[in-house]
Amino acid sequence: MKTLITLSVAVFFLFSAFAKAQSTQTCNCVKELSFINEQIKEMTSFKKQMKGDKLSEYTTTIKKLEREVTEQMNVTDCFSKLNTLLSVVKDKHAHIRHMKPVITSEMVDENVALNRFRESELFKNHPKTSTSIEELIATLSEKSFESLEGIYERKDSMTVGVIKKGDAYEGVVLTSSNKGWIPGQIAYRITPNGENMYDVLTSDIPGGKLRYVRGLLHSNGRLWHLKKEATNMISEVKQDQADWEFKQLTPDTQYVYMGTFSNNEEKVSAYKKFYEETKDKFTAKNIIVDLRDNSGGNSKYSDPFYKIFKKNKMNVYVVTNFWCGSNGEQFTLKLKGLKNAKHLGQRTYGALAYGSNYGNLIESPSGHFAIYPTDMNFHKFINYEYVGVQPEIKLSFDKNWITQTLEIIANNN
């Protein structure tokens, strides 16, 4: 209980700085909290988890938040309170979205609008670091590659310095070719949430859409889309990688890439075509099943392959990275249940105990927020929620992962 309250206080103060940049927006957070509370209580994850001490923890949290919220509260502060409540439930699929930002990137696409935005009080009042950029760069350049603190690149548009502030961290813009941000502005608030895991608050631009993502892994110099200069992206598949691919790598080893199990009509069509073309081709002694970046979907698109691998008694080498989630993780566990299977790579995302059957967003009374609730019950996987599925063999970040897997297969043979 003490840990939760301490974390809640830390998150509140981190959000409060962002609130200065969105002071023009207020909402009746009393109604918002009541609405979100009712939606959370309908979720399968709430009903499965909130018993005994966990229910007491939730009750204590909601009562504390009810004392803190007001009928005319800054939107960012309210967003913080709502996320504090949702975070009591261990359910990575469920989340709250900010629906009505003061300003969007589209609003400032034109130079005239952009210049007006940069001269606005909203932009000028966005929280800034009190430390000089030169001093930050000098300090952060000394940090180790393994440390969360350091200098990161974000999509080549700017560099961000992550520096510790009390029990949490700030992400400060150091250089920027993105005209929506200038050096010195605080673009990220990062709060610890487990071993090498962090909750991240950011916005598209100052005063823009708020984004709050829980349980992100810091590994190999990377946190979400922030990457250190020495980060090797070898753990990820290429951006132009097709969702489905089959290869004969050696006489004894075949390879299959499965990028999604989505119900999307176009993706289902691609799956059906791939399955019909390959279902009779899995004949080798070994099969590498590459599930990197597979964000999940429906088990009816993964189970047919499980049956093939099991029936053909193939040696299965399943490869994952952190961005393998949901049904991708469930499939990983199913494959690991085979007597002749090995799991390699990196731990998975940790979002497999629940899910959303319909993918509905439910708008809050003010329209400022919407909750994405869960209704699917995979509670038997609760021990993997947030922590992910851990591989038996961790692959290094200095060599192609499929090459490493082939070497392991050769050694096993």
Residue 111: its pLDDT value, please? 84
Residue 83: its pLDDT value, please? 92
Residue with tokens 């990220």: 188
Residue 14: its pLDDT value, please? 45
- Amino acid symbol at 120: S
Residue 212: its pLDDT value, please? 93
Residue 25: its pLDDT value, please? 84
Sign of the torsion formed by the C-alpha atoms of 258, 261, 264 and 270 = positive
Question: How many Å apart are CA 339 and CA 115, to the nearest integer?
Answer: 63
Residue 24: its pLDDT value, please? 66
Question: How many Å apart are CA 322 and CA 219, to the nearest integer?
Answer: 9
Residue 104: its pLDDT value, please? 83
Count of residues in the chain: 413
3-state helix/strand/coil string of the chain: CHHHHHHHHHHHHHHHHHHHHHCCCEECHHHHHHHHHHHHHCCHHHHHHCCCHHHHHHHHHHHHHHHHCCCCEEHHHHHHHHHHHHCCCCCCCCEEEECCCCCCHHHHCCHHHHHHHHCCHHHHCCCECCCCHHHHHHHHCCCCCCCCCEEEEECCCEEEEEEEECCEEEEEEEEECCCCCCCCEEEEEEEECCCCEEEEEEECCCCCCEEEEEEEEEECCEECCEEECCCCHHHCCCCCCCCEEEEEEECCEEEEEECCECCCHHHHHHHHHHHHHHCCCCCCCEEEEECCCCCCECHHHCHHHHHHHHHCCCEEEEEECCCCCCHHHHHHHHHHCCCCEEEEECCCCCCCCEECCCCCCEECCCCCEEEECCCEECHHHHHHCCCCCCCCEECCCCCCHHHHHHHHHHHHC
Residue 17: its pLDDT value, please? 47
Kindly state the tokens that stand for 220: 């190999």
Q: Which has the closest alpha carbon to 189: 167, 218, 158, 208?
A: 167
Question: How many Å apart are CA 93 and CA 384, to the nearest integer?
Answer: 13
Residue 12: its pLDDT value, please? 44
In which residue ranges of the chain is CATH 3.90.226.10 found? 234-352+388-412
Instruction: Please state which of the four CATH numbers 1.10.10.10, 3.40.630.30, 3.30.360.10, 3.90.226.10 is assigned to the domain occupying 234-352+388-412.
Output: 3.90.226.10
Residue 412: its pLDDT value, please? 86
Residue with tokens 């510790």: 164
What pTM was estimated for this model as a whole? 0.90
Residue 7: its pLDDT value, please? 46
Per-residue model confidence as pLDDT tens for the chain (413 residues): 444 444 444 444 444 544 454 456 899 999 999 999 999 999 999 999 999 999 999 999 999 999 999 999 989 889 989 999 999 999 999 999 999 998 888 888 888 888 899 999 889 989 999 999 999 999 999 999 999 999 999 987 899 999 999 999 999 999 999 889 999 999 999 999 988 999 999 998 998 999 999 999 999 999 999 999 999 988 989 888 999 999 999 999 999 999 999 999 999 999 999 999 999 999 999 999 999 999 999 999 999 999 999 999 999 999 999 999 999 999 999 999 999 999 999 999 999 999 987 778 999 999 999 999 999 999 999 999 999 999 999 999 999 999 999 999 999 87
